[in-house]
């Protein structure tokens, strides 16, 4: 995974991705680190699909998880 960087003078362009990567590093990366590509893929998938989208509420979505927000918006539409 490679994090993108903004050009000089645009410090807020990547604020969302920098926030996500910061949370990912503290919430998902084990203390011993990651040793193989397969382990890295498994950790990323597990974090996004099993935690970030289904458990972690987001303020921008009215404190709903992305999965709950998507389900809610489909029911309303």
Range of the domain at 62: 15-76
In a domain, 60, yes or no: yes
In a domain, 5, yes or no: no
The count of domains in the chain is 1
How does pLDDT run along the chain (77 residues), one tens digit per residue?
566 566 666 666 677 778 888 889 998 999 999 999 999 999 999 998 888 888 888 888 889 988 899 888 776 65
How much is the pLDDT for 53?
82
In a domain, 38, yes or no: yes
How much is the pLDDT for 39?
96
In a domain, 6, yes or no: no
In a domain, 43, yes or no: yes
The separation between the first and the last C-alpha atoms of the chain, rounded to the nearest angstrom, is 35
Q: Which spans in 1-77 are helix H?
A: 15-27, 37-45, 66-76
Angle at CA of residue 6, ends 52 and 38, nearest 5°: 40
In a domain, 7, yes or no: no
Predicted TM-score of the model (pTM):
0.63
How much is the pLDDT for 36?
96
């Amino acid at each position: 995974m490679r994090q993108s960087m903004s050009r000089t003078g645009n410090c807020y362009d990547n604020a969302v991705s920098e926030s996500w990567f910061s949370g990912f590093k503290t919430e998902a990366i084990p203390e011993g680190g990651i040793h193989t590509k397969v382990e890295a893929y498994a950790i990323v998938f597990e974090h996004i699909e099993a935690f970030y989208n289904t458990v972690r509420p987001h303020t921008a979505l009215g404190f709903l998880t992305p999965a709950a927000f998507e389900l809610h918006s489909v029911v309303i539409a």
